[in-house]
Amino acid sequence: MGFSVITKLRKDANLSIYYLGKKTGKLGTPTIYDHKVNWNNLTDWFPEEHEKYYIYSNIVYGKGFKRKMKVVVVDFKKGGGSVIIASTNYELSTK
């Protein structure tokens, strides 16, 4: 079809970090994802700091969507709170 889906996700979304390592060369299905996303610990995400918020982005595997997606977490400095946004086009910029 040629279109991308951009959606807001719940904080309990079942996502896993997409595996970017080398293939092992063993028989069987190759590794698709590395480990499950821990929303309280975003140390392995790519951070950007702005005046009013922090942005964390990463490529993840969405088990419900059965595909890899780009997920952006917008964490507001003042007032707290955060928003989780996902796109099926994982080559999009966070800007």
Cβ contacts of 74 within 8 Å, gap of 6 or more: 53, 54, 55, 82, 83, 84, 85
At 13-53, the pLDDT tens digits run: 888 888 777 877 888 877 777 788 888 888 888 888 888 88
Strand ranges in 10-81 using DSSP code E only, listed in sequence order? 15-18, 33-36, 46-49, 53-62, 67-76
Read off the pTM: 0.78
Q: Which pLDDT tens digit goes with each residue over 3-24?
A: 888 889 988 888 888 877 787 7
- In degrees, to the nearest 5, what angle opens at C-alpha 67 toward C-alphas 87 and 24? 125
Judge contact between 35 and 43, C-beta under 8 A: no
